[in-house]
Chain A
Amino acid sequence: MQNVMGIIHLNLGQDVLKELTMGRPLAALPFGGRYRLIDFILSNMVNSGMQNVGILVQDKYRALMDHLRSGKEWDLARKRDGLFILPPSPNPCSTSGCRGSVENFYNNLDYIESSRQEYMLIAGSHIVCNLNYRKAFKFHKDMNADVTILYKEHDIEDELTRYTILDCQPDGRISDMGSQSPRSASRKVSMEMYLIEKRLLVELIKDSQARGGWDFTKDVLIKNVDKLKMFGYPYKGYAARIDSIKNYYRHNMDLLRPEKWEELFFKSGLVYTKVKDEGPVKYKENARVFNTMIANGCIIEGRVENSILFRGVKVHKGAYIKDSIIMQKCEIAENAIIENVICDKNVCITQGKWLKGEKNYPLVVAKGTVV
Chain B
Amino acid sequence: MAWVENEWGIYVMRKKECVAMILAGGQGSRLGSLTRKIAKPAVPFGGKYRIIDFPLSNCHNSGIDTVGVLTQYRPLALHSYIGIGSPWDLDRRDGGVYVLPPYAQEGGAEWYKGTADAIYQNLNFIDMINPNYVLVLSGDHIYNMDYSVMLDHHKKQRAEATISVIEVPWHETSRFGIMNTDTSGRITEFIEKPRDAKSNLASMGIYIFNWRLLRKSLEEDRKNALSSHDFGKDIIPKLLMDGHRLFSYYFKGYWKDVGTVESFWEANMDLLTDEPELDLYNPNWRIYSVNPTRPPHYIGSTAKITRSLVSEGCSILGEVEHSVIFPGVHIEEGAVVKDSIVMPYVTIGRDAQIYRGIIGRKSLIEEGALIGAINHEGICVIEENIVIPSDAQILENHMISKQKQVG
Q: Is A265 an interface residue (CB 8 A)?
A: yes
Q: Is A97 an interface residue (CB 8 A)?
A: no
Q: Does the CB pair A295–B305 fall under 8 Å?
A: no
Annotate A190-226 by CB proximity to B: 1 below 8 A, 0 otherwise: 0000000000000000000000000000000000000
Known A-B contacts A258-B315, A277-B289, A280-B46; the reply to A296 vs B296 at CB < 8 A is yes
**How far does the alpha carbon of A72 sit from the alpha carbon of B310 in the complex, in Å?**
26
Q: Which of B273-309 contact A (CB under 8 A)?
A: 274, 280-281, 286-289, 291, 293-301, 303, 305-309
Q: Chain B: interface secondary structure? A: loop
Please, what's the 1-or-0 string for B143-175, where 1 marks a CB less than 8 Å from any CB in chain A?
000000000000000000000000000000000
Q: In whole angstroms, how far apart are the Cα atoms of A292 and B316 in the complex?
A: 10
How far, in angstroms, from A281 to B300 measured CA to CA in the complex? 15
Task: Note all chain A residues with C-beta closer than 8 A to B293.
Answer: 270-272
A277/B287 in contact, CB under 8 A: yes
Residue from B48, B87, B281, B309 having most chain A Cβ neighbours under 10 A: B281
Q: Which residues in B have their C-beta under 8 angstroms from that of A277?
A: 87, 286-289, 291
B47 at the interface (CB under 8 A from A): yes
Q: How far is the CB of A16 from chain B (nearest CB, A)?
A: 25
Answer whether residue A235 sits at the interface, using C-beta atoms and an 8 A cutoff: no
Q: Is A287 an interface residue (CB 8 A)?
A: yes
* Interchain CB contact under 8 A, B48 and A285: no
Query: Interface size bucket, A side?
Result: 35 or more
Q: Known interface pairs A270-B293, A279-B280, A294-B296. Does A285 touch B306 (Cβ–Cβ under 8 Å)?
A: yes
User: B86, B306, B315 — which one has the most chain A CB atoms within 10 A of its CB?
Assistant: B306
> Contacts A279-B281, A281-B310 known; A291 to B287 CB distance under 8 Å?
no
Are A284 and B274 within 8 A (Cβ)?
Answer: yes
Docked-complex contact B289 and A261, CB < 8 angstroms? no
Contacts of A297 in B (CB 8 A): 281
Residues of chain B within 8 A of A310, CB atoms compared: 296
State whether B310 touches A280 (Cβ < 8 A). yes
| Chain A residues, Cβ within 8 Å of B299 | 289-294
| B33: interface (CB < 8 Å) | no
Check: B312 CB closer than 8 A to any chain A CB: yes
Report chain B residues within 8 Å CB of A279.
46-48, 280-281, 287, 309
User: Which B residues lie within 8 Å of A295 (CB)?
Assistant: 296, 312
Q: What is the interface of chain A mostly: helix, strand, loop, or mixed?
A: loop
Let me know if A98 is at the binding interface, CB within 8 A.
no
Contact residues in B for A272 (Cβ distance below 8 Å): 293
Within 8 A of B (CB), among A281-339: 281-287, 289-297, 299, 308-310
A91 to B144, CA, bound (A): 50
Judge whether A275 is part of the interface by a CB distance below 8 angstroms.
Answer: yes
**Residues B281 and A282 in contact, CB atoms below 8 Å apart:** yes
How many residue pairs link A and B with beta carbons under 8 A? The number is 104
Q: Is the CB of B296 within 8 A of A309?
A: yes
Does residue B210 face the partner (Cβ distance < 8 Å to A)? Answer: no
Of A261, A271, A282, the most chain B CB neighbours within 10 A belong to A282
A32 an interface residue at 8 Å Cβ cutoff?
A: yes
Bound-state Cα–Cα, A283 to B301, Å: 16
Are B295 and A275 within 8 A (Cβ)? no
Q: Which of B315-340 contact A (CB under 8 A)?
A: 315, 324-325
A34 part of interface (Cβ distance < 8 Å):
yes
Chain A min CB distance to B179 (Å): 33
Docked pose: A200 CA to B335 CA in angstroms: 58
In the complex, what's the smallest C-beta–C-beta distance from A139 to chain B, in angstroms?
A: 29
- Known contacts: A258-B315, A296-B312. The answer to whether A283 contacts B296 by CB under 8 A is no
Q: Does A33 contact B (CB under 8 A)?
A: yes
Out of A34, A258, A285, A287, name the residue touching B296 (CB < 8 Å).
A34
Interface centre among A34, A264, A290 (most CB of B within 10 A): A290
For residue B312, which residues in chain A have a CB less than 8 angstroms away from its CB?
34, 280, 295-296
Closest to A266 in B: B295
Cβ B48 vs Cβ A258 within 8 A:
no
Report which of A33, A258, A275, A282 forms a contact with B309, defined as CB distance below 8 A.
Answer: A282
Partner of A281, one of B46, B287, B297: B297
- Known A-B contacts A34-B296, A299-B281; the reply to A281 vs B309 at CB < 8 A is yes
The residues of B that contact A145 with a CB separation of less than 8 Å are none
Smallest beta-carbon distance B8→chain A, Å = 32
Task: Tell me, yes or no, whether A12 is within 8 Å of chain B by CB.
Answer: no
Q: Which residues of B contact A (CB under 8 A)?
A: 46-48, 86-87, 274, 280-281, 286-289, 291, 293-301, 303, 305-312, 315, 324-325
| A to B CB contacts below 8 Å, 21 in the list | A32-B295, A33-B295, A34-B312, A261-B295, A271-B293, A272-B293, A275-B291, A277-B287, A279-B309, A280-B48, A280-B310, A282-B308, A282-B309, A283-B305, A283-B309, A284-B307, A285-B274, A287-B305, A292-B299, A308-B296, A310-B296
* Interface residues of A, Cβ cutoff 8 Å to B: 32-34, 72, 256, 258, 261, 264-265, 270-272, 275, 277-287, 289-297, 299, 308-310
Sort A-B residue pairs by CB-CB distance and give the 9 closest, nearest first. A280-B47, A33-B296, A279-B280, A295-B296, A265-B295, A280-B311, A280-B309, A291-B301, A275-B291
